[in-house]
Structures are given as C-alpha cells and as structure tokens.
C-alpha cells in the first residue's frame, strides 16, 4: 500500500448533490457548516473517502448517513480538483448527484443531519468552497438526463398524477410545457400504468393516478434505448436532427 510514496498524494472526498422535488420546485439538501473554513455557510454534504471504499460506495455512504435512504438513483458527474478549491490544502472531490423522494426522507439522528435543510435550487446563493459550481454542474447533468431517461419517477411518490409529473419536468427543465402535448407524449411511451384510481381530498376534479412501469422500462432499456413505439418500420438513424434518446 505504500508503493506510491514517492508521488504526491491528496485528500479526496465525494460531494453529493441530493435532489428532491416538492411544492413544484426542485430542491437540494444542504448542510450548514459548523466549522472553519466557511463556517456558517451552506455546503453540499460530502466526506472523505475511506482507504478500502470504492468511490460509489463512499457516495452512497454519505447519502445513507444523512438521509437513511439506500437504493436511490446515484450518478457520478464530474471531479473537481482545482489547486485552490480548498483553502487549507489540496482536496480533490468527486461530485455525485442523487434523486430521492422527499416524502421518504426523514431527518436522521446523526449530528450532521441535524444541520441539513432543503433549499430551492433557484434561490441558492453562494455556497462554501466551489459547491455552487458543483451544484450547477449536477443540475445541468440532470437536465440532460431527464430527457434521456425517465428519471423523473425517482423524484415522485409511487402514485402521481400527470400534472404532477408535468410540473416536475417543468421544474427540472426550467420551462413551461403544453399540457396536451406533454400528456400525448408521455402516454405514448407506454411507461405509465393507469391505476384507475383518483386523487382524494382535493377541492376540484380529482386527477387519475399513475404508476411508473418499471418492467416496461427495463424491456425498453434492453432493446437498446430504441424507444420504438408501435410498429414503426423506421430504422434508427443516429443522425436524426435530435437523435438522442429522450424522455418523454
């Protein structure tokens, strides 16, 4: 384990951008720093990687300690290693983001978790270190992702209405969508199960509830992202004007 003593070694951490969706708004879970540097500032949850721990495992650990959640969507985004990103020395950090259902989240007993709070992404000002930049990079990645895969479902409760789904997409993409076109599109993907239930306790016409069809999605993944609806005879031409897999 000390083969590399002749070379410079660095501390390295993982930082986790934990996204949630609530009240029609994309949120991120931040922690108030209790120590210098950047004491009192909000920061992304992160921690040092252990010697016998894979990077992904470290990211999962950070998330688990903070939220108590396992088996959530987690993706590596980019590594930030500018020489001066940490005032006290060289620290390289691998940025991850994860998607959780806020309803599943409960404040953990751990002392770190006590200081955690959800923030609307749009209203996040400056963060400790280069964490604002990391947040932005992760949010951009999420924007990409939401058009390529049905990740939106990771952020919603198991049963949801089409309007809720649309609001989620609007929050991630930071734009407005046409209701009819959105529904047409999303239903044509055949990734939703109509539960034949409706909302309860709302002061207006209740909406139908849907559920994500994980099986269909996996079929679709297995087919290599072809997203071939119906019996289209169309060949997959990767140079289509906008030829990336897209969801919806």
- Contact partner, 89, from DNA, a second copy, none, Cβ < 5-8 Å per class: a second copy
- Contact partner, 161, from a second copy, DNA, none, Cβ < 5-8 Å per class: DNA
Does 201 participate in binding a second copy (rule CB under 8 A)? Answer: no
CB 56 to a second copy: min, Å? 8
Binding pattern to a second copy, positions 153-182, x when CB under 8 A? ----------------x---x-x-xx--xx
CB 195 to a second copy: min, Å? 23
Which single residue is written with the structure tokens 């049963």? Answer: 159
Q: What distance in Å separates the CA atoms of residue 8 and residue 27, rounded to the nearest whole number?
A: 38
Q: What is each CA distance from 193 to 20, 99, 166, 222, in whole angstroms?
A: 23, 21, 16, 19
Which single residue is written with the structure tokens 């047409």? Answer: 184
Residues 6+ apart with CB under 8 A from 11: 48, 89, 90, 91, 92
Using CB under 7 A as the criterion, which residues of the chain lie in contact with DNA when the complex forms? 161-163, 178-181, 183-185, 198, 202-208, 229, 232-237, 239-243, 246
3-class secondary structure, 28:
strand
When the beta carbons of 110 and 181 are compared against DNA, the nearer one is: 181
Does 35 participate in binding a second copy (rule CB under 8 A)? Answer: no
Among 32, 119, 185, 208, binds a second copy (CB under 8 A): 185
When the beta carbons of 76 and 161 are compared against DNA, the nearer one is: 161
Query: Which listed range, 51-59, 64-72, 106-114, 211-219, lies at the site for a second copy (CB under 8 A)?
Result: 51-59
Pull the structure tokens for residue 146.
């939401």
Does 50 participate in binding a second copy (rule CB under 8 A)? Answer: yes
Instruction: List the one residue out of 217, 213, 168 whose CA is nearest residue 195.
Output: 213
In sequence order, what DSSP letters do the residues of 150-196 get, joined into one string? -THHHHS-SSB-HHHHHHHHHHHHTS---HHHHHHHHHHTT-EEEEE
Does 224 participate in binding a second copy (rule CB under 8 A)? Answer: no
Binding pattern to a second copy, positions 78-117, x when CB under 8 A? xxxxxx----xxxxx-x-----------------------
Q: What distance in Å separates the CA atoms of residue 63 and residue 97, rounded to the nearest whole number?
A: 10
- Contact partner, 177, from DNA, a second copy, none, Cβ < 5-8 Å per class: a second copy
Pull the structure tokens for residue 14.
């993982």
Q: What is each CA distance from 197 to 139, 161, 190, 205, in whole angstroms?
A: 33, 10, 18, 13
When the beta carbons of 110 and 244 are compared against DNA, the nearer one is: 244
Q: What distance in Å separates the CA atoms of residue 155 and residue 1, rounded to the nearest whole number?
A: 41
Footprint of a second copy on this chain (CB under 8 A)?
1-4, 7-12, 48-55, 76, 78-83, 88-92, 94, 144, 147-148, 169, 173, 175, 177-178, 181-182, 185, 237-246, 248
């Amino acid at each position: 384990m000390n083969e590399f003593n002749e070379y410079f070694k660095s501390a390295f951490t993982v930082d986790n951008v934990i996204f949630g969706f609530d009240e029609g708004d994309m949120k991120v879970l931040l922690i108030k720093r209790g120590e210098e540097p950047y004491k009192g500032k909000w920061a992304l949850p992160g921690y040092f990687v252990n010697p016998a721990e894979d990077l992904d495992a470290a990211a999962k650990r950070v998330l688990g300690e903070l939220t108590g959640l396992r088996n959530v969507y987690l993706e590596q985004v980019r590594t930030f290693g500018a020489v001066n990103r940490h005032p006290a020395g060289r620290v390289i950090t691998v940025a991850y983001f994860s998607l959780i259902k806020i309803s599943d989240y409960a404040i953990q007993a751990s002392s770190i978790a006590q200081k955690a709070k959800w923030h609307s992404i749009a209203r996040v000002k400056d963060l400790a270190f280069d964490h604002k930049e990391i947040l932005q990079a992760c949010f951009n990645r999420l924007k990409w992702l939401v058009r390529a895969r049905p990740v939106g479902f990771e952020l919603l409760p198991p049963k949801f209405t089409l309007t809720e789904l649309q609001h989620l997409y609007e929050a991630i993409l930071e734009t407005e969508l046409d209701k009819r076109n959105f529904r047409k599109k999303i239903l044509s993907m055949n990734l939703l199960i109509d539960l034949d239930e409706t909302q309860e306790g709302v002061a207006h016409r209740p909406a139908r509830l849907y559920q994500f069809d994980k099986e269909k999605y996996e079929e679709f993944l297995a087919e290599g992202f072809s997203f071939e609806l119906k019996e289209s005879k169309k060949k997959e031409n990767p140079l289509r004007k906008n030829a990336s897999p897209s969801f919806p």
